[in-house]
Structure 1
């Protein structure tokens, strides 16, 4: 199975790099993409707006050969839902711990504006895991996939095209 993935930015990214970016993100250091085009558009708009008026939001589109990657023994971690394992993993990564290094790809929900307050309250000990999971149960799970291993990117992620996002209404 081949899936389409999108990366939102202010530049075209024909050759993604796994070791560029910040360490303390949801799933660790890697190249992030999503199956949800609208989500990538939102990310691109936010990134471009942070950089100023002359910057244009752009989506890079890829094909990812999931079956070939799995057949070749790529180390996947998939979080199907917001659960305690996801919560503890995201908190650990955001605290700079390196659980992500045991995987080539991590996939699951985004700790975005809809859920970040819950994650941060749990991280600070303001709420328990049970309370956090109770709140997360009602949140719509967005999608992100983090490519941690550069060889996986080079062998299975194929750039297709870039799409410029119009911000004019």
Structure 2
């Protein structure tokens, strides 16, 4: 069992996997992290854009059972597979649709410039990967299967920040 967090501006006791935006790192799904500080940053960033208060939603994820029952992809580093997957999803190719659960690093402020240079063809894959090697990935989990999410993700409460 893993405690996970979702940064938001509202309480989300019943997550909906199909509600999120398209063309994100791991596709349209419900994004969580096991890093509370990261969820707090997401909540604060969203609250600033929406002129509202940040909220951290807290859940327990039965990761092992979710991964056992679902089609899963886990990226352990910023590698060529991760880079191609992120770029394809951001271009709208929706590689994420093949999976129920995706976990790995975030294309956040620290690494997005490198990813964008690669997308624009200004650096090749090898150069992008050399630059990304300097960063330790923050962890994000994207839940894409509603029935598995309903079964293996339990809401534990929320905190206002």
Shorter-chain TM-score bucket reads over 0.9
Distance between the aligned counterparts of 1:148 and 1:70, measured in 2? Answer: 12
Q: Taking structure 2 as the reference length, what is the TM-score of the superposition?
A: 0.98
Alignment of 1:63-82 (within 5 A): 63-71=60-68, 73-82=69-78
Do residues 41 (structure 1) and 40 (structure 2) align? yes
1:19 counterpart SS class: helix
1:61 offset after TM fit, Å?
Answer: 0.4
Question: What residue number does 2:81 align with?
Answer: 85
Contact 2:56–2:160, Cα closer than 8 Å, also in 1? yes
TM-score under structure 1 normalisation? Answer: 0.93
SS in 2 for 1:158: strand
Q: Which runs of 5+ in 1 are unaligned?
A: none
Correspondence for 1:117 among 113, 116, 132? 113
Distance 1:43 1:156 in 2: 23
User: Following TM superposition, where does structure 1 have runs of at least 4 consecutive aligned residues deviating by more than 3 angstroms?
Assistant: none
How far apart are 1:69 and its partner, in Å?
2.0
SS of the equivalent of 1:43 reads helix
Paired residue total = 161
Aligned to 2:24: 25
**Distance in 2 between the 1:41 and 1:70 partners?**
26
Structure (1/2) with the larger helix percentage: 2
Distance 1:94 1:3 in 2: 28
Task: Report deviation, 1:22.
Answer: 1.1
1:37-73 Cα offsets, whole Å, 9 max, x none, are 0000000001011111xx11000000001222234x3
